[in-house]
Structure 1
Amino acid sequence: MSTHADLRVPRRFGMDRPWAERAARPLRLVAGPGADPTEAELAALAAGLLRRDELAAGLVRAVRPGELHRALAAGPSADVPEPVRAFYDTLSQRPDWVDDELLARGAEACRAFGMDAGLVLAYGSLLGGYRTAAALEPLVRTGRLAGGETLRRIRETTLWWRAVTAPGGLAPGGEGWLATAHVRVMHALVNARLEADPTWDCELRGVPINQYDQASTLGVFSTSFLLHLRLLGVRVSRADAAAVMHLWSYVGWLMGVDEEWLPHTERRGRRLLYHFLANDPPPDANSIALARALITMTDAATTGRRRRYERERALSVSCWLLGPAAMRDLGLPYRPPWYGLARIAANLPVSHVLGRLPGGRARLLARAERQARAQFARWGSEL
Structure 2
Amino acid sequence: MVTPARFGAGGGWAERAARPLRLTAGPGAHPTPDELDALRAALLERDEPGAALARALLDDHTVTQAQIRAALADPAAPAPAPMERFLETVRVPPSWLDEALLARGAETCRAFGADADLVLAYGSLLGGYRTAAALEPLVRTGRLTGDATALRIAETTDWWRAVTAPGGLRPGAEGHRLTLHVRVMHAMVNHRLEADPGWDRAARGVPINQYDQASTLGVFSTSFLLHLRLLGVRVGRADGAAVMHLWRYVGWLLGVADRWLPRDERHGRRLLYHLLAHDPPPDGNSLALARALIEAGVPEPRDRALSLATWLLGPAALRDLGLPPRLPWYGLWRAAVNLPVTHVAGRFPGGRRRLLARAERQYRRRQAARRRTAG
**TM-score interval (norm. to shorter):** over 0.9
Task: State the distance in 1 between where 2:10 and 2:250 align.
Answer: 31
Residues 114-129 of structure 1: matches in 2 within 5 Å?
A: 114-129=113-128
**Greater displacement, 65-74 / 27-36:** 65-74
Task: Give 1:170's aligned residue.
Answer: 169
Residues 243-322 of structure 1: matches in 2 within 5 Å?
A: 243-298=242-297, 310-322=301-313
Matched, 1:30 2:29: no
**What do the CA deviations read for 1:245-281 (whole angstroms, capped 9, x no partner)?**
0000000000011100100100000000000010000
Residues 61-140 of structure 1: matches in 2 within 5 Å?
A: 61-64=55-58, 67-74=63-70, 75=73, 76-140=75-139
Task: Give 1:378's aligned residue.
Answer: 369
CA contact 2:144–2:288 (8 Å) conserved in 1:
no
1:331 maps to which of 322, 326, 339: 322
Matched, 1:180 2:174: no
Structure 2: which 5+ residue stretches go unaligned? none
Task: State the distance in 2 between where 1:201 and 1:137 align.
Answer: 11
- The 3-state SS of whatever aligns with 2:310 is helix
CA contact 2:57–2:65 (8 Å) conserved in 1:
no
Task: State the distance in 1 between where 2:154 and 2:220 align.
Answer: 16
Task: Give 2:160's aligned residue.
Answer: 161
Task: State the distance in 1 between where 2:68 and 2:166 align.
Answer: 22
Normalising by the residue count of structure 1, what TM-score does the alignment of the two structures yield?
0.93
- The 3-state SS of whatever aligns with 1:11 is coil
CA contact 1:235–1:352 (8 Å) conserved in 2:
yes
How far 1:380 moved relative to its partner?
2.7
Task: Give 1:345's aligned residue.
Answer: 336
Task: State the distance in 2 between where 1:326 and 1:354 align.
Answer: 34
CA contact 2:113–2:359 (8 Å) conserved in 1:
yes
CA contact 1:140–1:146 (8 Å) conserved in 2:
no
- The 3-state SS of whatever aligns with 2:64 is helix
How far 1:298 moved relative to its partner?
2.8
Kindly provide the amino acid, as one letter, of the partner of residue 268 in structure 1.
Answer: H
Task: State the distance in 2 between where 1:144 and 1:181 align.
Answer: 20
Residues 1-40 of structure 1: matches in 2 within 5 Å?
A: 8-40=2-34
Task: State the distance in 1 between where 2:49 and 2:85 align.
Answer: 10
**What do the CA deviations read for 1:53-105 (whole angstroms, capped 9, x no partner)?**
00100111123488432023213244421211222232111111000000000
CA contact 2:49–2:89 (8 Å) conserved in 1:
no
**Greater displacement, 362-371 / 230-239:** 362-371
Aligned residues: 368
Cα RMSD after superposing both structures: 1.6
Task: State the distance in 2 between where 1:79 and 1:112 align.
Answer: 37
How far 1:118 moved relative to its partner?
0.6
Task: State the distance in 2 between where 1:55 and 1:79 align.
Answer: 18
How far 1:372 moved relative to its partner?
1.4
Task: State the distance in 2 between where 1:339 and 1:62 align.
Answer: 49
Kindly provide the amino acid, as one letter, of the partner of residue 351 in structure 2.
Answer: G
Structure 1: which 5+ residue stretches go unaligned? 1-6, 302-308
- The 3-state SS of whatever aligns with 2:301 is helix
CA contact 1:218–1:248 (8 Å) conserved in 2:
yes
Task: Give 2:37's aligned residue.
Answer: 43
Matched, 1:234 2:230: no
How far 1:364 moved relative to its partner?
0.8
- The 3-state SS of whatever aligns with 2:296 is coil
CA contact 1:113–1:234 (8 Å) conserved in 2:
yes
